[in-house]
Amino acid sequence: MKDLNELQSIISKAVAETKYPSQPPDLYEPISYILSLGGKRMRPALLLMACDLFGGDVNKAIKAALAIEVFHNFTLMHDDIMDRAPLRRGKITVHEKWDQNVAILSGDAMMVEANKLMLQVDDAILRPVMDIFNETASGVCEGQQYDMSFESRDRVSADEYINMIRLKTSVLLGGALKIGALIGGATEKDASLLYTFGEQLGVAFQLQDDILDIYGDPEKFGKQVGGDILANKKTFLLIRAQELADDITATELQNWLDTVDPDPQQKVAAVTAIYNKLNIRQLATETIQIYAGRSFATLDELDLPDSHKQYLRAFADSLLVREY
Amino acid sequence: MKDLNELQSIISKAVAETKYPSQPPDLYEPISYILSLGGKRMRPALLLMACDLFGGDVNKAIKAALAIEVFHNFTLMHDDIMDRAPLRRGKITVHEKWDQNVAILSGDAMMVEANKLMLQVDDAILRPVMDIFNETASGVCEGQQYDMSFESRDRVSADEYINMIRLKTSVLLGGALKIGALIGGATEKDASLLYTFGEQLGVAFQLQDDILDIYGDPEKFGKQVGGDILANKKTFLLIRAQELADDITATELQNWLDTVDPDPQQKVAAVTAIYNKLNIRQLATETIQIYAGRSFATLDELDLPDSHKQYLRAFADSLLVREY
């Protein structure tokens, strides 16, 4: 089994070497630009990893892995317009560096490029791979739409929230793994199990992110503590707190959400105190365990040598055992 | 051979019967909405026509034809954002009826739906069909980017302009015909000839549109005479006039382009007079003849019965013999 870092390096090299047409520049330069901003290349590396797991040649999976990375960055380019984000990975976003129209159209062209890359898989698996890719793409669009619509809603249920994060981020992890497995020669059954492994692990990882916003060590985590609270973000913690709070606590929580220009430290402390009183961290951790458990359970069913299952288990552990 | 009107009706019925997921509504309702606004369904009808020409079963080509129509409407949804258009076919545009973010994301989802529809062709032609579809999609994006960038440029050459309209509108006509031909069982050679037939005819048709803006009978044409002139649109006529004008005429033309709030009738009359002096209408008509000639020339090479070639010739004539 190849090391995940090695697979990430293969992708970074392949991304840097990929050339797009030179004309028209405002269509293709933003594609090279956003792809040059870096990132961990986790999704395409997972595709290569899945191929490797089933004994496939990772070199034959690089175009498909690039397709996943190009698709992911296309969604980022359009999401940044929708979120009016000025920065992406610390660099100016495409719609700010060029303009919004360029970001819309260049994103569209990027999706076409992703399709062209994915179409380079062997004939024998062309249809199933393209079906997975399109189902994944629909899921990501649906997740982004739910995410946007939740912002203007008063209440979102925990189930709705988990379904949103599953669609917005986890199906692409699952899709990348499933496609990589098929390229590596996995059976449909094993490829689907690996999809579930990634999908459920992705949900656990996203829920963990919600906990880390408040309970994470800022030095290790590298983000401002309570950023989600200050942004009134409907995280799993807030949603569960709203569901479980008695009337007085619910009013107190709502007052903090409604306060214009609160003292940041006071607001984070007060909302965290509410979460603590309601035992939200424990509840969230239990939910993470459920999804992590479903992810690990697929390992028992996968037709792979124990050493390979151990590799997957170690990978999952590395994602989930972030100290907090 | 089936009548083109009949093919258009088949498409309209299929469009109306196509159902999208109900959730999330803001992602899928705009797709049904923009497709319900009508239009002539010319592109998908051409796909069915091409299938029929080679003896194929048009019922087997309906999903691919829908893919072309869904793709076309995806480009309209995003173009309307970029053009800040309030209306599409007399109805409120998606970004106005919902909001811009909905139009961006729903358009993205629409492109995925188009891919899913196109993927339903038989295995034997799956790869060539998807290759044509993606090449076509890239071309349409490139054409739209050129069109936008021309707006802010002082000068555009006639060659650049023709390449832009070829990409923005003609390659989709060609692509629809080629895919339909392959579904109908045509050889790669015949399918490519039909692509060229559509592509060159499309350029001729678009150039004709530029002439009709000024020289068309407003009652038959149904548009305001000189609308392109009032919008300072870089049409083939304006571009050729800029290329051919002597210094004095060029200055006069530029003054009209630079005048803020001109009297509309005066501006149209003055610019038309410049075109007349430079014999632009005749030059444009000659260019149309070149492209129409290239389109008709493919008929000689196509391996089809004379009656079928006559059908294509009559179709082309119906597009080009618009009275003006």
Indicate if A149 and A282 belong to the same structural domain.
no
Q: What value does the mean pLDDT of chain B take? A: 95
Contact state of A127 with B127 under an 8 Å Cβ cutoff: no
* Whether residue B324 has pLDDT greater than 50: no
* Nearest partner of A183 among A263, A223, A129, judged by Cα: A129
Indicate if A249 and A175 belong to the same structural domain.
no
Query: Is A149 an 8 Å CB contact of chain B?
Result: yes
- Cα–Cα distance, A187 to A192 (Å, whole number): 9
Tokens of A248: 């007085």
Query: Is A101 an 8 Å CB contact of chain B?
Result: yes
Indicate if A225 and A181 belong to the same structural domain.
no
Please list the pLDDT of chain A residue by residue as tens digits (324 residues): 899 999 999 999 999 999 999 999 999 999 999 999 989 999 999 999 999 999 999 999 999 999 999 999 999 999 999 999 999 999 999 999 999 999 999 999 999 999 999 999 999 999 999 999 999 999 999 999 999 999 999 899 999 999 999 999 999 999 999 999 999 999 999 999 999 999 999 999 999 999 998 998 777 766 678 999 999 999 999 999 999 999 999 999 999 999 999 999 999 999 999 999 999 999 999 999 999 999 999 999 999 999 999 999 999 998 897 544
ipTM of the complex: 0.95
* Nearest partner of A180 among A232, A230, A222, A118, judged by Cα: A118
Chains A, B: CB pairs < 8 Å: 108
* Whether residue B279 has pLDDT greater than 80: yes
Tokens of A80: 């940044």
pLDDT in tens, B284-299: 999 999 999 999 999 9
**CATH number for the domain that contains residue A244:** 1.10.600.10
Query: What confidence category does residue B77 fall into, taking pLDDT thresholds of 50, 70 and 90?
Result: very high
Contact state of A126 with B131 under an 8 Å Cβ cutoff: no
Indicate if A144 and A249 belong to the same structural domain.
no
Indicate if A280 and A263 belong to the same structural domain.
yes
Q: Which residues of B touch A63 (CB under 8 A)?
A: none
Q: β-strand B87-88 against B91-92: which pairing, if any?
A: antiparallel
pLDDT in tens, B147-164: 999 999 989 999 999 999
Start-to-end Cα distance in chain A: 30
Indicate if A139 and A177 belong to the same structural domain.
yes
* pLDDT computed for residue B176 by the predictor: 98
DSSP A58: G
Q: Which residues of B touch A167 (CB under 8 A)?
A: none
Q: Find residue B92's DSSP bridge partners.
A: B87
Indicate if A35 and A178 belong to the same structural domain.
yes
Q: Report how far Cα A225 is from the mean position of its chain's Cα atoms.
A: 21
Q: Of chain A residues 223-282, which have a CB less than 8 A from chain B? A: none
Contact state of A101 with B113 under an 8 Å Cβ cutoff: no
- Cα–Cα distance, A35 to B75 (Å, whole number): 24
Per the CB < 8 A criterion, the answer to whether B174 and B191 are in contact is: no
Query: Is B123 an 8 Å CB contact of chain A?
Result: yes
Indicate if A110 and A154 belong to the same structural domain.
yes
Query: Is A85 an 8 Å CB contact of chain B?
Result: no
Q: Distances in Å between the alpha carbon of B60 and those of A24, A307, B57, B180?
A: 37, 48, 6, 10
Mean pLDDT of B114-138: 98
- A119, A126, A141 member nearest B109 (Cβ): A141
Indicate if A165 and A175 belong to the same structural domain.
yes
* pLDDT computed for residue A218 by the predictor: 72
Helix (H) or strand (E) holding A87: strand A87-88
Q: β-strand A87-88 against A91-92: which pairing, if any?
A: antiparallel
Query: What confidence category does residue B75 fall into, taking pLDDT thresholds of 50, 70 and 90?
Result: very high
Indicate if A141 and A234 belong to the same structural domain.
no
Indicate if A222 and A317 belong to the same structural domain.
yes
pLDDT in tens, B219-251: 776 667 899 999 999 999 999 999 999 999 999
Place of tokens 């983000």: A223
* pLDDT computed for residue B161 by the predictor: 98
**Total domains, chain A:** 2
Q: A140: nearest CA in chain B?
A: B109
Core vs surface per residue B231-250: b (16+ CB within 10 A) or e: eeebbbbbbbbbebbeeeee
Indicate if A148 and A106 belong to the same structural domain.
yes
Domain boundary among A132, A158, A185: A185
**Structural domain span for residue A231:** 187-324
* pLDDT computed for residue A216 by the predictor: 83
* pLDDT computed for residue A322 by the predictor: 58
Domain boundary among A185, A208, A234: A185
In residues, how long is chain A? 324
Domain boundary among A141, A162, A185: A185
